[in-house]
């Protein structure tokens, strides 16, 4: 057990290092964190208000406990899905694995330390998703001291089971794919398929929940005071129902019993994780960094194709593409979030049994909104571009090799284009994914679809330029694993925050204007085009100076 805590402490210390900083710059980091918290404050206030209003509405029918059920189920699903990505990169593709394997450590000790590190970062996700909800419920229900004590305990324990399940799933997969010359690519494709399977399972559960009760039966159960909404909300992770009942009945002995039952279920999950880790982890991680060549003889036309001359900036762009594609941590964190988010939004819509009436109402609203529909699509594209970490980690991904790249005889303008190209293309791809989903559900005319794409392209270009500006100002070059470079990096949060603020300003501006479709599209394209040109000129003029100041 001492080895687990010692390893955890070392890993947290290494992963929390934000790169080498000059003396006296700590206050800048604190200021940036403070600004980020201030930026998220309106979102937190809106969430608190929403939960409070929802509590008042459900309290009238005696179903207020469903808020806790939905909150805990939501955070459990989020941790399970995010945990798959996190476990693949931390457990298997971090550079410390090669240093830990030769040490006289049991698999459970290495796994335990890595699990605790993953759990620590999942607490940050949980804090955003469930923290305000627990506080609001306690205040609105006039809960006693025991409620808050139980809430603290459950806050620490709730992520354990979903993270353990995602870890076991990943270890099973990695154990039986540790073969072949292209095992990294096989695992990456399998990981994507696995995430798709999880989303499909979530869709299936949602459909079952929506179809299991007809409206009249649901109304009868609601009026009878049964916790039907709580039962529906906690079906994906049944153990969360014990946690909810422990909080709801915290003032009674039964609440303590539910708490102990939930802790026992969590202990069972830990034991299952430890049992699986002892038998699967080493077999899946051994030889993780080995590679094999194809020994294919290249001659004639194939050799001429490989040796052909290309523009320098295009060669550098191809290099950036290959690094993202061939590195699982970069692929999972730079590409998938912006592409998967539209599908995460799609699943609840597909799972609603009476979605036809909802969509008909939404279609009617879209028809009469004029230019607001274009602004909404642009805002969604901007937020998706903010989730894309390709440009905001363009310099960070190079690590110490960046100082070698600085010596290349490549003008900064071409260097900038090469760095922005992958992220911009991925953002444009997410635009078409979002458009395809919108066309599937809504009566979008070809004119509206064309204008939406026409306006969104300069929007995502601006987001990628801003992301590169952030990374140019504060790159994180001293990292020990690719996971640390992209996942444990605060820069993508600034990009996401900027995207959220910009999207909100765009929608509010168009709503207050109330213009028609074509004028709104032209004005938005003009505004974002000018912003792009201005930011591009700033990067071209000041970029070389800022890049020269980057130190180890």
Q: So what's the pLDDT on residue 5?
A: 83
Task: Copy the structure tokens of residue 411.
Answer: 């003008």
Per DSSP, the three-state class of 504 is helix
User: Rounded to an integer, what distance in angstroms lies between the CA atom of residue 263 and that of residue 157?
Assistant: 8
Count, residues in the chain: 552
Which among 118, 485, 183 has a CA at the least distance from the CA of 326?
Answer: 183
pLDDT at residue 538 in the model: 94
CA distance 343 to 331: 18
Q: Does pLDDT of 215 surpass 50?
A: no
Mean pLDDT of 378-403: 89
Q: Running DSSP on this structure, what letter comes out for residue 396? A: G
* Average confidence (pLDDT) over 503-521: 86
Whether the pLDDT of residue 522 is over 70: the answer is yes
Lookup result for tokens 């459950």:
154
Predicted pLDDT of residue 527 = 95
Lowest mean pLDDT among 23-37, 114-128, 315-329, 389-403: 23-37
pLDDT range class, residue 382, cuts 50, 70, 90? very high
Q: In this predicted structure, which of 89-98, 136-145, 244-253 has the lowest mean pLDDT?
A: 89-98
Q: What is the pLDDT of residue 224?
A: 46
Element spanning 85, H or E: helix 65-87
pLDDT at 299: 55
**pLDDT at 427 > cutoff 80:** yes
Q: Is the pLDDT of residue 520 over 80?
A: yes
Token look-up 């040109």 returns 533
Q: Decide which of 129 and 148 is more confident.
A: 148
Q: What angle do CA 395, 28, 25 make, to 5 degrees?
A: 85
pLDDT attached to residue 214: 47
For residues 229-251, average pLDDT = 71
What per-residue confidence (pLDDT) applies to 248? 83
Instruction: Give me 122's structure tokens.
Output: 């999942």
Instruction: Tell whether the model's pLDDT for residue 467 goes beyond 70.
Output: yes
Look up tokens 């020269």; give the residue: 548
Longest pairwise C-alpha distance within the chain: 81
pLDDT tens digits, one per residue of 219-228? 444 444 445 4
- The pLDDT, as a whole number, for residue 249 is 85
Task: Tell me how crowded residue 442 is: count the other CB atoms within 10 A of its CB.
Answer: 15
Q: Give the chain's mean pLDDT.
A: 77
More reliable by pLDDT, 488 or 493: 493
For residues 444 and 514, give the distance between their C-alpha atoms in angstroms, rounded to a whole number.
Answer: 19
Mean pLDDT for 73-86 is: 80
Most confident of 58-62, 139-143, 192-196: 139-143
pLDDT at 529: 95
Across 469-487, average pLDDT = 82
How confident is the model at residue 395, as a pLDDT?
92
pLDDT band at residue 123 under the 50/70/90 scheme: confident
What is the arithmetic mean of pLDDT over 128-139? 84
Look at the block and give the residue holding tokens 């890993």: 11
250-297: per-residue pLDDT in tens?
Answer: 888 888 998 999 999 999 989 999 888 888 887 777 655 555 555 556
pLDDT in the model for residue 229: 46
Which residue, among 176, 359, 207, has the nearest Cα to 279 in the 3D structure?
176
Angle at 9 between CA 490 and CA 162, to 5 degrees: 70
What sign for the dihedral angle of Cα 227, 233, 237, 241?
Answer: negative
Above 90 in pLDDT, residue 458? yes
Beta carbons within 8 Å of 442's beta carbon, 6+ residues apart: 359, 362, 363, 366
CA 4, distance to chain mean position in Å, is 28
Residue partners of 389: CB distance under 8 A and separation at least 6 = 333, 334, 337, 467, 486, 489, 492, 495
Mean pLDDT of 237-246: 80
The DSSP call for residue 331 is: I
Please report the DSSP string for 86-116 in residue order: HHIIIIISSTHHHHHTTSS--HHHHHHHHHH
Q: Which of 179-193, 283-297, 299-313 has the highest mean pLDDT?
A: 299-313
pLDDT-derived band at 48, boundaries 50, 70, 90? confident
Residue 189 has pLDDT above 70, yes or no: no
> What was the pLDDT predicted at 542?
92
Average pLDDT over residues 125-130: 81
The predicted structure's pLDDT at residue 38: 67
Nearest-5° Cα angle at 47, 437 to 428: 30
């Amino acid at each position: 057990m001492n080895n687990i805590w010692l390893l955890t402490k070392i890993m947290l210390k290494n992963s929390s290092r934000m790169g080498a900083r000059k003396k006296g710059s700590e206050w800048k980091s604190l200021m940036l964190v403070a600004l980020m918290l201030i930026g998220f404050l309106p979102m937190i206030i809106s969430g608190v208000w929403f939960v409070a209003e929802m509590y008042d509405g459900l309290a009238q029918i005696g179903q207020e406990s469903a808020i806790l059920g939905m909150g805990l189920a939501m955070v459990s699903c989020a941790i399970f899905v995010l945990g798959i990505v996190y476990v693949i990169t931390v457990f298997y593709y971090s550079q410390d694995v090669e240093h830990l394997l030769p040490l006289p450590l049991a698999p459970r000790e290495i796994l335990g330390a890595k699990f605790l590190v993953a759990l620590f970062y999942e607490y940050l996700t949980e804090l955003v998703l469930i923290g305000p909800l627990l506080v609001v419920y306690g205040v609105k229900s006039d809960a006693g001291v025991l409620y808050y004590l139980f809430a603290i305990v459950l806050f620490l324990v709730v992520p354990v089971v979903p993270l353990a399940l995602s870890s076991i799933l990943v270890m099973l997969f990695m154990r039986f794919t540790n073969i072949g010359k292209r095992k990294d690519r096989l695992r990456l494709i399998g990981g994507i398929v696995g995430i798709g399977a999880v989303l499909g399972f979530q869709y299936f559960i949602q459909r079952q929940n929506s179809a299991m009760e007809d409206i009249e039966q649901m109304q009868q159960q609601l009026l009878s005071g049964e916790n039907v909404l709580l039962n529906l909300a906690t079906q994906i992770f049944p153990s969360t129902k014990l946690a909810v009942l422990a909080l709801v009945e915290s003032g009674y002995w039964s609440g303590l019993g539910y708490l102990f039952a939930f802790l026992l279920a969590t202990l069972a999950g830990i034991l299952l994780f430890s049992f699986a880790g002892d038998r699967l982890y080493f077999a899946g991680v051994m030889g993780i960094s080995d590679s094999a060549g194809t020994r294919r003889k290249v001659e004639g036309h194939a050799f001429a194709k490989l040796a052909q001359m290309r523009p320098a900036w295009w060669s550098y762009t191809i290099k950036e593409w290959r690094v993202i594609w061939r590195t699982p941590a970069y692929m999972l964190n730079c590409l998938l979030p912006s592409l998967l988010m539209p599908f995460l939004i799609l699943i609840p819509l597909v799972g609603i049994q009476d979605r036809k009436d909802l969509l008909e109402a939404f279609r009617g609203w879209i028809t009469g909104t004029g230019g607001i529909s274009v602004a909404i699509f642009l805002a969604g594209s901007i937020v998706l571009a903010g989730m894309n970490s390709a440009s905001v980690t363009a310099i960070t991904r190079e690590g110490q090799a960046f100082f070698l790249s600085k010596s290349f005889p490549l003008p900064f303008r071409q260097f900038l284009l090469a760095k922005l190209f992958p992220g911009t293309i991925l953002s444009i791809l997410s635009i078409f994914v979002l458009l395809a989903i919108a066309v599937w559900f809504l009566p979008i005319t070809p004119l509206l679809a064309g204008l939406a794409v026409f306006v969104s392209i300069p929007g995502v270009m601006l987001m990628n330029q801003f992301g590169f500006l952030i990374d140019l100002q504060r790159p994180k070059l001293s990292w020990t694993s690719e996971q640390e470079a992209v996942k444990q990096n605060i820069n993508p949060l600034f990009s996401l925050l900027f995207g959220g603020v910009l999207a909100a300003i765009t929608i509010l501006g168009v709503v207050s204007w109330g213009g028609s479709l074509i004028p709104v599209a032209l004005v938005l394209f003009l505004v974002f085009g000018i912003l792009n040109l201005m930011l591009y000129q700033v990067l071209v003029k000041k970029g070389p100076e800022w890049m020269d100041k980057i130190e180890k």
